[in-house]
Amino acid sequence: MKQVICINWGTKYGPTYINRLYGMVARNITPPFRFTCFCDNSENIRAEVDCQPLPKIDYEIPKAKTGIWPKSRLWGETLGDLKGPVLFLDLDVIVTGSLDSFFEAGAPEDVILTRNRVVVFEKLGQTSVFRFMAGGLKPLQDLFKTDPQGIAEEYRYEQRFVTRNAPGGVKFFPDGWVAHFRRDCRRPFPLNYFLPPKLPKGARIVIFAGHLNPQDAIEGRWSDAVPPRSPLAHLRAIGQRDRSGSIWRYLRHYIRPAPWVGDHWRP
């Protein structure tokens, strides 16, 4: 039984993202499989999704500007009623190919992350796609709850804390299985003004780290704070850019619509 999990709290994502993630998983996995969402509200989530309450914790989630520390709920001694290896997926990824190999890589007890290639000079994992044994990260949670706020400030991102402290160390999925939309799909300047983002050959999952999400990619905008517009209109608006960023950054932060994202990102 292949087990895929996700987590949702609050209203940032909700049923739209959960239902679409389930649909993508179901189309790209060989049964039998189980899809579990740990959430604080199961309303309007499709019936095929196994909704379970957010795992209980006995510490306070740190208040931090960076890192998604509520994911630490998944590191406890128990994970709902799940046993064995689970594949965690962020709600805003898109699945573009078979997920079967993610369950075949390494040994069942291995902690396997996606390699973070954005941070070039650090051996860092990316927890957007992340396989581990249910209950196997209890030592990680035990360490974290000794000083959640201090650890969040020291490590900044939960992926760095997991990479450096996971019991038994971490392994990485093979390069190419997971693509980073901003790094691997969008075109470099000036091609970003002429060509749409590409789907790298062999990519099975595309992650959307940062403010850019799948809907932004479909519409051709860097974030929901920037309206979709033509290349010429974007260039003409250069004087209206956020003054905290450079002109070079503004020029690079333009993408044309990526219809292939919508082909995959559906219920």
CA 98 to chain CA mean position, Å: 17
pTM tops 0.85, yes or no = yes
Please answer whether residues 170 and 113 qualify as being in contact, where contact means their C-beta atoms are separated by less than 8 angstroms: yes
pLDDT in tens, 107-149: 999 999 999 988 878 999 999 999 999 999 999 999 999 999 9
Would you tell me which CATH number, out of the four given (3.40.50.2300, 3.90.550.10, 3.40.50.720, 3.30.365.10), belongs to the domain 2-172?
A: 3.90.550.10
Q: What are phi and psi of 113, to 5 degrees?
A: -115, 170
- Residue with tokens 């998983």, as numbered in its chain: 25
pLDDT in tens, 10-28: 999 999 999 999 999 999 9
Q: Which residues contact 83 (CB under 8 A, 6 or more apart)?
A: 134, 135
Q: How far apart are CA 259 and CA 263, in angstroms?
A: 7
- Supply the pLDDT for residue 209: 83
Ranges of CATH 3.90.550.10 domains, the chain: 2-172
Please answer whether residues 176 and 200 qualify as being in contact, where contact means their C-beta atoms are separated by less than 8 angstroms: yes
**Closest Cα to residue 62, out of 145, 163, 160, 159?**
145
- Supply the pLDDT for residue 239: 85
